[in-house]
Chain A
Amino acid sequence: MKKAAKPLCFFGALIVCLLVVSSGDKMVDDRASVTEKDVTRDTVRVVSDMDSRINARIFNLPKVYVLPMDFEPSPKPDSAKFTEDTYEDETISVKCWHERIQITKKRTITANFADITIAHPTQLRTALSNGKFGVIRRVYGSKMAEMNNAVIAINGDYYNFRPQGVIIRQGRVFRTEPMNIDGLFINSDGDFVVMNDKKAVKSGFVKKNKLYQAFAFGPVLVKDGEPVQKQYVYDSVECDPRAKCPRTAIGQLGKLHYLLCTIDGRSDVSMGLTTNELAVVMADKKCITAYNLDGGQSSVMIFNNGIYNVVSGGGERIMSDIIYFATALPES
């Protein structure tokens, strides 16, 4: 029995071995279940659909809202998006705050700031009293802000207090008689350029460039990130730059990023600043460029149709123009 088992074992192993080898062959030969793949057809289909995929991505881009550069009121901001100190929608972000700043050991002032980021340069706007240039009738800044749906506004340069000065508003050149002062020019990219207004006119800068706004007041406070310290009496403005006064300034922090500032003044709580001191304040806030606007009783900051600073002289003054920032979102 044992002798017979040996050859049986041997042949059994032989049969198993042959089965294994032949089944491997079957696997390789079996292509019955393969599917069809047409690389050309697939490629042509993908190339043909390319335009629709690109279009889908284009129309999925965040919408760019552009406001017309005219003196018509801007779209109304969404009242639900206001907080006490902020406003934010897809096109504009505003953050306001009050700050006590110690200037000397004995003097601390109140500054009111607004940090603003907009999506498009047309959201940095100006409004004129009665919507027209040269109109004698002046109105309150807060009224102009409300009529134009400003999210935030400050007083401008009070252009019609003087017959001269290069004045451009909402892309329209209204006046080109220079006063030989620092002018602030805002181009169509929303960037600030500060230069002597006489030079700007003579060199053709005003004609050659697409400018949205130009202001005639000054002086320049910050240039290339450095505070500008004037050593002479700046004779173009009525409020002596060396006096401690309420002040208004506008600065550029970056691309479509701005800082507004008003300094409370002429009170025991806050005396006000000289323009040189204001220059240091604006430079400390990281402005690349900053410019002094009309001050004194004109200094006003209006946020959500309310006055955000303490206006000196017993209350708001009527004026000829404001600078304001608007939402670009269409009213739904």
Chain B
Amino acid sequence: MKRRRCLQRAAGIFLAVAVMLGLSGCRMPSYNLSGDGSPSKALAAFLDEVIEGDDVKAKDMVYNYYFSAEKPTDGDDLNSRILTCLYDSRSYELVGKAKRLDSHTARVTVNYTTFDIGKFEEAVTDEAMEIVQQREYNGEVFENNNDTQPIIDRCKEEQLTHPEEFYTTQVFEIEMISCRGRWMVMMTGDFYKALSGYAV
């Protein structure tokens, strides 16, 4: 009698758990890990818009920020040319299939290549400091920024002749999150930094 009661209780618990799991399963959106509507496609679309500089489309593709990536207007000055190098350099390659994390999130691996503004600045700084030191060594006096600006500009010009030397490729594992029936990018500090050309 006791044994039968135990079996009945176990069956009840088993049934309750089975119903819970079943209901949860019903609520889980079924998504493909590849093909249209997949997290990989969504990340690719986001990066395409960032590379294009399409602010309107990219704006609503990031889950945790209202994200802007509008392409600045082209100019002939040195800073505009640096930004042009940045836009010309951007490319990406998705690596493998997305990995399901849970019912709402997936992880996509991407190789992202960009002109590294930080590296470029370091090269310009090193060259400018060397020139200034050499000229000071030869008796020239540098009193303020006006004295050094022509040297900095010259060094920028020189470094911009071979922008590909400042290209950096890094692997990112981007978490994609399903929200309102579509996939959005969960932006991280590192990925944001890469999108800015390692400037920020």
Contact = CB atoms under 8 A, between A and B. Distances in A.
B70 A58 contact: no
Interface in B132-157: 132-133, 136-139, 142, 145, 148-149, 152
A154 to B, nearest CB: 26
A64 interface: yes
A41 interface: yes
Contacts of B71: 40
Given A47-B79, A51-B152, A34 B117 contact: no
Contacts of B152: 51, 54-55
B23 A46 contact: no
Nearest to B81: A47
Nearest to B62: A37
A42 interface: yes
A122 B72 CA distance: 50
Contacts of A16: 20
B19 A13 contact: yes
A44 B149 CA distance: 19
Contact of A44 (B53, B64, B83, B128): B83
Given A37-B67, A58-B142, A43 B104 contact: no
B149 A51 contact: yes
Interface stretch (B37-45, B92-100, B164-172, B173-181): B173-181
A89 to B, nearest CB: 18
Nearest to B127: A54
Contacts, number: 140
Interface in A21-55: 21, 24-25, 28-29, 31, 34-44, 46-48, 50-55
A34 B67 CA distance: 10
A40 B121 contact: no
A37 B72 contact: no
A173 interface: no
A17 B63 contact: no
B27 A41 contact: no
Interface residues on B, range: 35 or more
A64 B136 contact: yes
A80 interface: no
A14 interface: yes
Chain B CB within 10 Å, residue with most, of A37, A39, A52, A63: A39
A10 interface: yes
A39 B69 contact: yes
Contacts of A47: 79, 82-83, 117, 199
B192 A10 contact: no
Interface string A257-276: 00000000000000000000
A61 interface: yes
Contact of B104 (A24, A36, A38, A46): A24
A120 interface: yes
B7 interface: no
Contacts of B199: 42-43, 46-47
Contact of A40 (B12, B64, B68): B68
A66 interface: yes
Contacts of B133: 61, 64
29 contacts: A13-B17, A14-B19, A17-B20, A20-B24, A25-B27, A34-B65, A35-B65, A36-B65, A36-B66, A36-B67, A36-B68, A37-B66, A38-B68, A38-B69, A39-B68, A39-B196, A43-B83, A44-B79, A47-B83, A50-B82, A50-B124, A51-B149, A52-B145, A53-B125, A54-B124, A58-B125, A58-B128, A58-B148, A59-B148
Interface of B: 12, 15-17, 19-20, 23-24, 27, 50, 53, 55, 62-72, 79, 82-83, 86, 103-104, 117, 121, 124-125, 128-129, 132-133, 136-139, 142, 145, 148-149, 152, 177-180, 187, 192, 195-197, 199-200
